[in-house]
Chain A
């Protein structure tokens, strides 16, 4: 079915890699896939869709209806394949990068050596909205801050992998990786027999194991929970999926209370102590006594219990200071400073609008740059120079000028493309993809999910892959 598939030469296609036939690690797949005809494919596609719908693997958008409109995260049946050797490098690079981020966070909330040594500018950290004074001097159980990191990796038209951004607050998406794999296995079982693909299903076990390593001192059998903002949160499916697959309770802030610096949950048989909280609630909402007092999502006294070392929060509050897109620029130096190593994964060249030279360059080149706010997620606030009108370019300039600290700019990276089934055209076309990876750090514990969430920009030509903005996803195969 893919034999007529072609791709523009200026783009880097994962399957063709600038040649006309599939590269080695796609060959088996293409051959096997060729045995299905279009009719089969369309039927399988519909079956997969029904399955997602019935199982409620959806995300909700709330406009004018309290039940929410449920949407299936569009799932493309053609998997993205990465050979073992390439993946090895990515995996090492991710662990390196996230270990360095952990060391960086510990330093920022203790001695701030890296600032004193002038490696990262003082003002960059102190002007960050995500630096939490409440975290100063706290020693989190196990010494871990960014237990779960969702680093976004892309491949540029030069064929190299780059880190596009770090996500060390509450990265999401892992449930779709598992759901996609499940669905693809049911839909295209033969393909799996042919291609040896590394497993992703152990993720929940690894996650639970990691949570156990960071239990407070003296707790042998920790009670772990997942804390959700509730079922109206767009990622609720994931929260319940993770709790269910780890076999732990899914709690809301109102299920918890703090007494004498210990955290308890309210059960049908009375209070039960909680030791590790994988929280999917943002920093500012976890404890109304220390952060936003109007938050109904958190639990009063949680931070005090954390400070006393009686509960582990995963990820630690205040990690957002490290995934600030302006801090990103310094990642190679940060890695070198703490680990004494060169960064394994490349950084995309980035201009900090706060710096005068960079600012000047950005002002003159908005039309060929991506301008991003440093502290937002979900693809919001991003403008891509080549897609803007003259008036819009002026607008971007004004916005940046008004708050230079808030913006960075990068050359437009041409994300690699991948054959993707496009419904409207009823054919396979190249679409831009990225990769959200998942890396776990615990006390003496490291794990990278083999694969990750390949997100695909379904709209022709666009580079924005976020689900909230019309993106879809693919299963990601790491060959063994």
Chain B
């Protein structure tokens, strides 16, 4: 496989995951602000959405915020920009991906591109988000079911999991900031637990987490579930391990060299497996920053070793 194509597919995976994550974050947080305890104002939700989007803008109206994070073409982090980038990367590799996969990406692109922005801003946010993310699910299904599980598949999957790991950390960080901030104004358990529930919801984990952690969700169990749970697809550790899995498959070396990305991943993953939630809780922001930087470093090393 050409290095350039590998790079494009890796980024196709990353952009798909990024678009999906931003869409879901916006949807969940927007709706969570509608019926929550009073302190959880719409303003707070909109600010969280803007922070998740990585923008410096503040004091935007509701409609402007939604437009900016979802449909603004001049915003490189908007959903539409990610979709365009995912599709452009896929298009450059049309000859190596399946026609079915390409078609599903192309359909997704046309859906987002043709969606009436006014409808979205005013009445159809839920409809858009749901349908758009269903399409991403179809795309991921096509990745798994229509590609030969060779290096093409590994590269796309590695991109998906790297990005998902990063997006999980970002989501946790932003909702954690909200929780801390609200605690200063209203430290009631209701508010706190509502925000934790929103956090879990944003990562499609609320319902399923209950099977693992009984009782009202609290921050400790949420952190345990979203960062350290080894078997849940929306936990950081799970994604990290998947990155290892796909990069190991890509590697042709039986014993990876000390300066290889495989070695680097294994070394850090081993440490991570023995991390306990207390360590995370002692310094949530510090831990998240550290793990985010680690994931960026891994992505950089993957690109350097295989894609340049």
Contact = CB atoms under 8 A, between A and B. Distances in A.
Interface of A: 53-56, 67, 226, 230-231, 236-237, 240-241, 243-244, 249-252, 254-255, 265-269
B306 A268 contact: yes
Contact of A56 (B92, B95, B102): B102
A67 B88 contact: yes
A226 to B, nearest CB: 8
Contacts of B268: none
B110 A255 contact: no
A240 B95 contact: yes
Contact of B84 (A67, A240, A244): A67
Contacts of A231: 88, 91-92
A267 B250 CA distance: 12
Given A54-B103, A240-B95, A249 B2 contact: yes
The 6 closest A-B CB pairs, nearest first, are: A244-B95, A243-B95, A240-B94, A240-B95, A250-B95, A268-B306
A55 B91 contact: no
A386 to B, nearest CB: 42
A55 B91 CA distance: 11
18 contacts: A53-B110, A55-B102, A55-B103, A56-B94, A226-B95, A231-B91, A236-B91, A243-B95, A244-B94, A249-B2, A250-B95, A254-B4, A267-B3, A268-B2, A268-B3, A268-B6, A268-B151, A268-B250
B213 interface: no
B3 A255 contact: yes
A355 to B, nearest CB: 47
Which of B6, B92, B155 is most buried by chain A, counting CB atoms within 10 A of its CB? Answer: B92
Nearest to A251: B2
Of residues A237, A240, A243, A254, which shows the largest number of chain B Cβ atoms within 10 Å of its Cβ?
A240
Contacts of A67: 84, 88
A269 B110 contact: no
B4 A255 contact: yes
Contacts of A54: 103, 106-107, 110
Residue with the greatest number of chain A CB neighbours at <10 A, chosen from B91, B155, B252, B306:
B91
A56 B250 contact: no
A280 to B, nearest CB: 13
A1 B96 CA distance: 42
Interface string B85-110: 00010011011100100110011001
A214 B4 CA distance: 27
Interface of A is mostly: mixed
A265 B96 CA distance: 16
B38 interface: no
Given A231-B92, A269-B252, A56 B106 contact: yes
Contacts of A226: 95
Interface-centre pick from A56, A236, A240 (highest chain B CB count, 10 A): A56
A55 B99 contact: yes
Contact of A266 (B3, B88, B96, B252): B3
Nearest to A242: B95
B56 to A, nearest CB: 24
A442 B234 CA distance: 55
Interface string B1-17: 11111100000000000
A241 B94 CA distance: 8
Most buried by B among A251, A266, A268: A268
Contacts of A268: 1-3, 6, 151, 155, 250, 306-307
Interface string B29-62: 0000000000000000000000000000000000
A67 B92 CA distance: 13
A111 to B, nearest CB: 41
Contacts of A265: 2
B4 A252 contact: yes
Contact of A267 (B2, B94, B95, B102): B2
Interface in B275-308: 306-307
Interface-centre pick from B1, B2, B84, B107 (highest chain A CB count, 10 A): B2
A266 B2 contact: yes
A237 B106 CA distance: 13
B300 to A, nearest CB: 16
A179 to B, nearest CB: 11
A460 B1 CA distance: 48
A388 B189 CA distance: 83
Nearest to B92: A231
A243 B95 CA distance: 6
Nearest to A247: B95
A332 to B, nearest CB: 41
Contacts of A254: 4
Contacts of A244: 94-96
Contact of B4 (A55, A56, A240, A266): A266
B197 to A, nearest CB: 39
Contacts of A269: 252
A266 B2 CA distance: 6
A141 B287 CA distance: 62
B200 to A, nearest CB: 36
Contacts of B94: 56, 237, 240-241, 244
Contacts of B151: 268
A55 B1 CA distance: 23
Nearest to A269: B252
A55 B106 contact: yes
Contacts of B103: 54-56
Given A226-B95, A240-B95, A249-B95, 15 more contacts: A54-B106, A230-B92, A240-B91, A240-B94, A241-B94, A243-B95, A249-B2, A249-B5, A255-B3, A255-B4, A266-B2, A267-B3, A268-B2, A268-B151, A268-B155
A250 B92 CA distance: 9
A267 B2 CA distance: 4
Contacts of A56: 91, 94, 102-103, 106
A268 B5 CA distance: 9
Contacts of A241: 94-95
Nearest to B98: A244
B76 to A, nearest CB: 13
A265 B1 CA distance: 10
Contacts of A240: 91, 94-95
Nearest to A53: B110
B108 to A, nearest CB: 11
Contacts of A252: 4
Contacts of B99: 55
A40 to B, nearest CB: 25
A267 B1 contact: yes
Interface string B249-260: 010100000000
A249 B92 CA distance: 12
B147 to A, nearest CB: 13
B85 to A, nearest CB: 10
